[in-house]
Amino acid sequence: MSIKPLVGITVALVVLIAILWISLWYGVVKTPIQTVFSAIFDYDPGNYEQVVIRKLRAPRTLIGLIVGASLACAGALSQGLTRNPLASPGLLGINAGAAFGMVAALSLANLEGAKSYVWFALTGAFGASILVHNIARIGRQGATPVKIALSGVIVTALLGSWTSALLLLNEQTLDEARFWLVGSISGRGTDALVKLSPLMACGLLAALALGRELNINALGQHTSTSLGQRIRLFRALTGLTIIVLCGCAVAIAGPISFVGLAIPHIARSIVGSDYRWILPYSLFLGPCLLIGADILGRIVIQPRELQAGIVTAVLGAPVLILLVRNTRLKNL
């Protein structure tokens, strides 16, 4: 049974704040709860526990907050744009493009560190998305949702094979890239986040503004055209927003799966099919899932940690199976 949207948003916000607090508090180094307060409001650089919170846990929590929101909103936009309930940002080739750009930079340009390759990953994501759209435009009807999905599969397979070839040809690149390729919000630092956060903030605002247009698009191409929607402009703006959000997120944290797939469905189960509410819910629920997965990764194999990308993949596989079983063929 659905609940009032504003009440649900409030609950989601409270849950998010609680998860943020747990992320700052829990880890291999045991810290009292009051130390979290001190690290935030009365920081002492000479206190080891406070240094751990400020220098290690706070950056990964902040990255999880922004990356989780971006991936979830990008997933909602992808499903709304393609009218495909199983769509995700990876459908547009963004993950594969970012991975190829990063691996190519490491292997061909001999770059080191996140400062160097983050822009190559973002460029790869943009390039892959443009390639998907151009392939989908071939034909009379232009870039229809079905053709976008098929083009995304083609480009993802193509770039995936090229990435694998580069990794096999250069063992050093494989060693440097494997941690990034698994997807993680830990050990990233804030350099890339500081550079890309203004762009991601603009993308999130644009996503929230597209809710009404996504509702119109859900009625079908003929109906949306009769209602005055400019189809090509809508698809271009939505596609660009998806590229910005997911491209930046993947460039920072690596290709993290299932956040963009699962969160819009969770939001839809609460508020129905109105994208004016699905997108705000995704904005809050995305970080809950990603940071929650990161916290779970700190627990399961102590004293080591399991990367958030692995946890989301393990949790997301059953979700995908349920979605496939419960989704009618006509909706695909």
**pLDDT score, position 332:** 42
- Are the C-beta atoms of residues 290 and 256 closer than 8 Å to each other? yes
Residue 318 or 11, more confident: 11
Among 5-14, 83-92, 246-255, the least confident range: 83-92
Per-residue pLDDT reduced to its tens digit, 14-55? 999 999 999 999 888 878 888 888 888 888 888 888 888 888
Per-residue pLDDT for 159 more than 50? Answer: yes
Length of the chain: 332
Cis peptide, bond prior to residue 280, ω within 30 of zero: no
- The verdict on domain 5-331 having CATH code 3.40.50.1100 is no
Helices 171-181 & 145-169 angle (0-180, nearest 10): 140
Q: How confident is the model at residue 112 (pLDDT cuts 50, 70, 90)?
A: low
Q: Which helix (H) or strand (E) holds 100?
A: helix 94-108
Residue 263 CA to its chain's centroid (Å): 10
Dihedral sign (CA 144, 156, 192, 27): positive
**pTM score above 0.75:** yes
278/275 Cα distance (integer angstroms): 5
Instruction: List, for residues 133-156, the tens digit of each pLDDT value.
Output: 888 888 777 767 778 778 888 999
Q: What is the pLDDT of residue 284?
A: 96
Question: How would residue 66 be classed by pLDDT, with cut points 50, 70 and 90?
Answer: very high
Q: What is the mean pLDDT of residues 291-296?
A: 93
pLDDT digits (tens, 9 = 90+) for 208-246: 999 999 998 888 878 888 877 888 888 889 988 998 898
Rounded Cα distance, 150 and 152, in Å: 5
Task: Decide: residue 113, CB within 10 A, 0-12 exposed, 13-18 middle, 19+ buried.
Answer: exposed
**Are 280 and 208 in contact, with CB atoms under 8 Å apart?**
yes
At 236 the pLDDT is: 86
User: 231-253 and 94-108 are packed helices; what angle lies between their axes, rounded to 10 degrees?
Assistant: 50
- 140, with CB counted inside 10 A (0-12, 13-18, 19+), is exposed
Q: What ranges do the domains of the chain cover? A: 5-331
